[in-house]
Structure 1
Amino acid sequence: MTTTDSATRPATATSTLDLAGVSRWYGNVVAVNDVSMSLGPGVTGLLGPNGAGKTTLLHMMAGFLAPSRGTVSLDGRSTWRNPEVYRRLGLVSEREAVHTFLTAYEFVLATAKLHKLPDPQSAARRAVALVEMEDAQDRRIGTYSKGMRQRTRVAAALVHDPQVLLLDEPFNGMDPRQRLHMMELLHSLGDGGRTILFSSHILEEVEQVSGTVQVMVAGRLAASGDFRTIRRLMTNRPHVFAIRSTDDRALAVALMAEPSVGGVELGRDGLTVRAGDYGAFTRALPKVALARGVRVHQLVPEDESLESVFSYLVEA
């Protein structure tokens, strides 16, 4: 089946998910802190390191958790204690919740029946085909790989053709081909007028699927908007490098004259260099070393983790 089937045709109605000053805390622990955003048709990535509050935020959007403060609404109606939202909303949570003794078709069919669809059998077949699980749909879920279980759960979330789809780390466990197909499916759903939000802690996943992102760090919304603009912020942030060479002192003196270098520290284990422009510094270093007759043994970025990138966005 191609992505022109019912779940990827243009939506007959569009939906908007709005969060206004949303916070959620557990005792003294603040999981989400004063988040506001509005999500309309298209694909949006919810980006942040593990523990940033993405799952808590998605659960409030889906009506599983009540905000400690603020409001979450779908088309103007609160998602909390409002079962009607599930007619328009589908959710794939990070935690697996599938009965391994069922087949994929049986699991998706059960979901279709819970939604009281007029033709649950046809709806289940369409949803299973949409995630390319036809060949394995009659096998027990317990025999599936993690990627296959993920696709089965996505099929169940799509079986009632929702206007809003929330996915928590949907690409976990998928092989490259499965990832590519799922990315194409999300693109098609977004282009068809559906509101899609998926969370990830991997920059490349968000870059390939979504042009719009919401970046969370430590429960706060650190950045919001076009991915390319935010990625430029990440690229232009100060960078820290650890360098070891045959003559650290001579290299330190030479690097201080480079416009891209903001500071140099000389220690027992080599140099620590702070550069304002990643590209300019990495291009200049070989030329400087060659001119001084210095051989560089090691060049290691010290702040390239996602956590450091996101922390910079919070402070920027």
Structure 2
Amino acid sequence: MQNLPDLEAWVIFSRVAETGSFAKAANLLGISQPTVSKAIARLEKKLGTMLLYRTTRKLSLTPTGEQLRERAMQLLADAEVFESEASALAIEPHGVVRVSAPMSFGLRYLAPLLPDFLARFPGVDVELMLTDRLVDIVAGAFDVAIRIAELGDSSLRSRRLCAVRRPLVAAPAYLERHGRPAHPRELEQHAILTHTNLPTPEYWRFRNETSHDEHAQSVRGRLRTNNADVIMPALLAGQGIALQPEFLVWDALKRGELEHVMRDWAIDDINVNLVTPPGMLRTTRVIALLDFLVEHLAHAPWAMSER
């Protein structure tokens, strides 16, 4: 038992670090001040270093104490969530889930699912914000964000929902008038409809699926917009060629209203990710929503389960 962590002492230390006082920590925890003092001394002895400077007038953290403060407070927060989750196993999830999602995806695929989710989990409320802007989910107090992008290094937790192709498409009437490009360089002669939220909207980077050649093509859009749905009317009306996520065009392709051109050339697929704030534990209401979205979207007609 000697090697087991002294979890009680760590919790007491986190409260002392938070309040800056043995007395306040004792009052907050509902224990005596000597118990607090003994726990800190016990922890310092086990670590072989001081965590606190003590004087008759002031209590402050040592450099080691400063380094360990955040981890101790996270330990307490995780324990509180763990106890809450354990006690909630026998009851339905409840509370508010705050969600951020891209505009087009949210309107087409998330909004239609919400009635079923609310019916399945009557104790859960959903607050949904649709924006094509990359939001800070921690600062914005969001529980879940849907991000259709390659994720950079981050402390955020992510769960890959699926991958999505981004085919080059145009209406058959446009292609009859202007011809079907066979190589990316031929796009210089075509009207381009551009989604400006691409990583490099002015350059489309293609890879040949057969030869594995690569080509970066400069493009200038006749229509430029930060929302892919805005492109659809002009695309269907035969006003140009566009790179569109397959979840927006798969049904139009199936009906023959759009045609996938330059099939030998493609740009990289993009992942649909479910992102949550850092931390090891999630509330039952968040888990319920994540599992629900995977259940309904991971095998959608446009979703690529395997890359």
By the TM > 0.5 criterion, same fold?
no
TM-score range, shorter chain: under 0.3
Give the number of the structure whose residues are more often strand, by fraction.
Answer: 1
TM-score normalized with structure 2 length: 0.25
Whose Rg is larger? 2
TM-score (norm 1): 0.25
